[in-house]
Structure 1
Amino acid sequence: MGDNPPSSNLESAMQMLIKTFHKYSGKEGDKYTLSRGELKELLLEELGTYLGFRQACVLMYAVEKVMNDLDANNDGEVDFTEFIILMGALTVACNDFFLEGLN
């Protein structure tokens, strides 16, 4: 019994989303939400390559717009559910961008 089987790629991706959210959410204010500053820092540090080199894919999501669009309950913070909606939207945008490049 002791050893757990290795995580699948998808399980690892889910774990990484959770860990990344909490890495930034605890820096100021509520430790379970992202402030504007925390969201900006997360986007720059964790998506820096895409922000720098894949502008068509990510830059359309400026922090203010993202905050306004995601903050469904208008509390000025992005909770984990709102964060996952952002990651899903960015993943779709990136997929569309890369598919266009293949045609």
Structure 2
Amino acid sequence: MSSQLQSVMESLIAVFHKYSSKEGDEHKLSNAEMKSLLQNELREFLAVSQDPMFVEKLMNDLDENRDGEVDFKEFVVLVATLTVACNEFFVGKTKR
């Protein structure tokens, strides 16, 4: 039986590949795949931004190697950043 952390890691990998395999390179997220992932998996985070160019700006920020796509390593940076932000938010709430 997998530990809770192993299960989360497996889920993260599965979610990435669920979207990355829809078009082009199956190991990278295109702009359209990234937008679909955000809309379906991180709807609340996407809704916070009123900027219609949010996904494009996010892709540009994440695309460390500038190939126009987001690979798994770049995707994990997004998830880790959002996770840290959520933790800081909740820690701040409990300190008040």
**Which of residues 9, 15, 19 in structure 2 aligns to 1:14?**
9
Pairwise CA distance, 1:50: 4.7
Distance 2:46 2:2 in 1: 29
Q: Which amino acid aligns with 1:39?
A: M
Matches within 5 A, 1:48-67: 48-52=43-47, 55=48, 59=49, 62-67=54-59
> If the length of structure 1 is used for normalisation, what is the TM-score?
0.80
Q: Which runs of 5+ in 1 are unaligned?
A: 1-5
Measured on the aligned residues, the alpha-carbon RMSD in Å equals 1.7
- What is the correspondence of 1:25-40 to structure 2 with a 5 Å cutoff? 25-40=20-35
Structure 2 CA distance for aligned equivalents of residues 68 and 44 of structure 1: 18
Residues in 2 aligned to 1:88 and 1:40: alpha-carbon distance in whole angstroms: 18
For these two proteins, the number of residue pairs brought into alignment is 92
Map 1:88-99 onto structure 2 (within 5 A).
Answer: 88-99=80-91
Q: Deviation above 6 Å: which 4+ runs of structure 1? A: none
TM-score (norm 2): 0.86
Larger-Rg structure: 1
Does the alignment pair 1:73 with 2:65?
yes
Q: Taking every aligned residue pair, what percent have the same amino acid on both sides?
A: 55
Residues 65, 50 of structure 1: alpha-carbon distance in 2 compared, 3 angstrom cutoff: closer
Q: CA deviation at 1:35?
A: 0.6
Match of 1:44 among 17, 21, 39: 39
Residue 89 of structure 1 aligns to a residue in which SS?
helix
